[in-house]
A and B are shown apart, each in its own frame.
Chain A
Amino acid sequence: MKLTKLLTSAAVALGLATTAMADTTKVGFVYVGPVGDGGWTYEHDKGRQAVEAKFGDKVETTFVESVPEGADAERVITQMALQGADLIFTTSFGYMDPTINVAKKFPKVKFEHATGYKQADNVSVYSARFYEGRAVQGHIAGHMSKTNKVGYIASFPIPEVIRGINSAYIHAKKVNPDIEFSVIWAYTWFDPAKEADAAKALIEQGADVILQHTDSTAPQAAAQAAGNVITFGQASDMGEYAPFPRVSSIIDDWAPYYVARTQAVMDGTWESVSTWDGIGAGMVGIGEISDAVPADVKASALALKESLADGSYHAFTGPLNKQDGSAWLAEGETAADYGDNGLAGLNFYVEGITAEIPN
């Protein structure tokens, strides 16, 4: 008798506990680098902090940093779901399949995967049109380069990175027909020593503009040591290297999206969506263009930014050919987001880039 009573009260207590818990919304974040990387993960964590600041006690956020892409990610995401997370943001391309796999096992948990393309009933995808920012960088790079050589530190050969290289190249070429791009694939998102070595190799071979699609500030330091090389902040402002070598930056602003999605879960209005916003919606910001850039270049770069923001200009506007010379976009045609040759699955360089994309 006593045992039953004990069990009942335990059950009641447990019930009470769960209802008390239900008031707080648990939001989990999975990061690919450390929160102190000064770039990609740093900005995602700022988004997480914005969620905490906005909802206070009503929300409980957790995060796991430096999670390798692949099987380990699946374990981490599963663990978060098991611990009762209501909403989980997985913030790197390589978490795509793990997120989908875990989402199947936890139909009641909402998932949000960044920069991927696989959606499900409880998995939204969201990304930013970084290539719009790359267009502005390419424009400045084309004007500023004296050696006509731009070095590009790329991470992995995925559509997001290839879009960036294409966009930067197109807009550099537009203002400087002699421009050449050298691309190094680092096969990492975050490895300061390797990123520094890659930057040094590019600089030693004559590049005087370094663009990076990796997350640490190491290339900035390498450019600073070289003395006559300009760089751009990646994912975060990297303003500590302004005004020189860092002359501008692409800033990811995830906070409004994270707040809105958390709100949707609280209100019970969350639906699986595909979000892809750019400069116009504020998801991509252009960091201050420093005084190292001549005033007329700065003005034309800002004009380009405005035209991208209000939609009057698309970063991929024809005529554009693929690298092999075959036609991609006709005169005045703009690239579609999805479908064959669409931006979401972009896997080729535009005409003029001499390097090859690794398979």
Chain B
Amino acid sequence: MDLSAINPVLLIASLMVAATPLLLAAIGELVVERAGVLNLGVEGMMIIGAIAGFAISVETTSPMLGLVAAMIAGAVLSLLFAFLTQFALANQVASGLALTLFGLGLSALMGQSYVGVKPPAMAKLDIPVLSDIPVLGPILFSHDPVLYIGIALTGAVFWFLKKSRGGLILRAVGESHDAAHALGYNVIRVRILAIMFGGACAGLGGAYISLIRVPQWTEGMTAGIGWIALALVVFASWKPWRVLLGAYLFGGINVLQLNLQAAGIAIPVEYLAMSPYLITILVLVIMSADKSGAPASLGRTFHASQ
């Protein structure tokens, strides 16, 4: 065992990278669920974002264009879900699951000619002077831009839901779509916009994996992160900053347990492997002891005539 081999600065820097795709997907889903829609298709939208972002950035050699394409692709795929659940009034759980299966299959098809291709590298945001500060520099100031977007997005969503009029309407739709409808708000439109936002975030999260974190395309490469994002939203009791905390906890403990293994620490590997799940759930459950529940209309279909 050689704990001195673990460099805490590098550890914190890499946990932030590991947490970002999860954070992006979860913050998008949070907005969707606060609008009263349960979209289980996060995994599908992520993987579509991963391949779309990868393909576009390879073709155009611009990682930025790839990220934009990933957001568009995720949003377009989520429109399919929006159509099924908001117009065809299909069951949200079934539609979401179908979206995931569809996304996984379609991404495999789209990605066939991209296996083994290397994407153009995303430049790190090396801020001069600041990134040279010892300790704080590598942790805070030398990441890729998307990581900062993830944190900024969390703040923006918090502000939007808590302070803005639009957020109030969105929450009203999520709590009681009948009341919101009676007040004259267009429930369907609000929900579609929320679903598209969720899709774009999931797509961006997926592209973060295929363009920055791994970076390459392999089939099924999101490997369940979409599902963890879904669980995270629930355990974070639909609160943005708790989602951030949960994502960093989960990503952090995951990276930490790999580092502990590599350092040969004498804790059985099985405990290390399950620790991210256990600790994240434990912390968030304790925090949500204040009984803040789910949006009241979550998962219920709405039609103006009913």
Contact = CB atoms under 8 A, between A and B. Distances in A.
Is B truly associated with A? yes
Interface of A: 33-38, 66, 151, 182-185, 187-188, 190-194, 196-198, 200-202, 204-207, 216-218, 221-222, 225, 238, 240, 354-356, 358-359
Contact of A358 (B5, B10, B270): B270
Given A204-B7, A204-B10, A198 B258 contact: yes
Contacts of B214: 192-193, 196, 218, 221-222
A-B interface, 5 closest residue pairs, ranked by CB to CB distance from nearest: A34-B219, A358-B269, A201-B258, A36-B219, A240-B116
A358 B262 contact: no
B262 A34 contact: no
Nearest to B225: A193
A185 B261 contact: yes
A216 B218 contact: yes
Given A217-B116, A240-B118, A354-B264, A34 B258 contact: no
Nearest to B114: A36
A218 B273 CA distance: 19
A204 B14 contact: yes
Contact of A194 (B117, B118, B223): B223
Select the residue from B10, B14, B269 with max chain A CB neighbours within 10 A: B269
B220 A184 contact: no
Contacts of A184: 258, 261-262
A197 B6 CA distance: 14
Interface string B107-121: 010011001111000
B262 A36 contact: no
A36 B223 CA distance: 14
Contacts of A35: 219
B217 to A, nearest CB: 8
A192 B216 contact: yes
A31 to B, nearest CB: 11
Given A196-B214, A204-B11, A205-B259, 18 more contacts: A36-B111, A36-B218, A151-B262, A182-B262, A182-B264, A187-B269, A198-B258, A200-B14, A201-B259, A202-B262, A204-B7, A204-B14, A216-B218, A216-B221, A218-B214, A218-B218, A356-B266, A358-B268
Contacts of A207: 262
A194 to B, nearest CB: 7
B209 interface: yes
Given A192-B218, A221-B215, A240-B118, A183 B223 contact: no
A141 to B, nearest CB: 16
Interface string B197-240: 00000000000010001111011111111000000000000000
Contact of B209 (A151, A193, A202, A240): A193
A193 B10 contact: no
A192 B258 contact: no
Nearest to A41: B219
Interface string B240-284: 000000000000001100110111101011100100000000000
Contacts of B258: 184, 197-198, 201
17 contacts: A34-B218, A36-B108, A66-B219, A182-B264, A190-B218, A192-B218, A193-B209, A198-B258, A201-B14, A205-B262, A216-B218, A217-B216, A217-B218, A221-B214, A238-B116, A240-B118, A358-B268
Contacts of B216: 192, 217-218, 221
A205 B11 CA distance: 10
Using C-beta atoms within 8 Å of the partner chain, give the interface range for chain B: 35 or more
A185 B273 contact: yes
A183 B261 contact: yes
Contacts of A218: 214, 216, 218
A222 B220 CA distance: 18
A192 B264 contact: no
A187 B275 CA distance: 13
A220 B221 CA distance: 15
Contacts of B255: 197, 201
Given A182-B264, A190-B220, A206 B5 contact: yes
Contacts of B77: none
Contacts of B298: none
B18 interface: yes
B160 to A, nearest CB: 29
Contacts of A359: 268, 270
A201 B11 CA distance: 8
Contacts of A193: 18, 21, 209, 213-214, 221-223, 225
Given A197-B254, A218-B214, A205 B108 contact: no
B269 A204 contact: no
Contacts of B108: 34, 36
Select the residue from A218, A238, A356 with max chain B CB neighbours within 10 A: A218
Select the residue from B10, B11, B262, B273 with max chain A CB neighbours within 10 A: B262
Nearest to A35: B219
A33 B269 contact: no
B223 A191 contact: yes
A139 to B, nearest CB: 23
A36 B6 contact: no
Select the residue from A198, A200, A202, A356 with max chain B CB neighbours within 10 A: A200
Contacts of B254: 194, 197
A182 B260 CA distance: 10
Contact of A205 (B112, B209, B263, B273): B263
Nearest to A353: B264
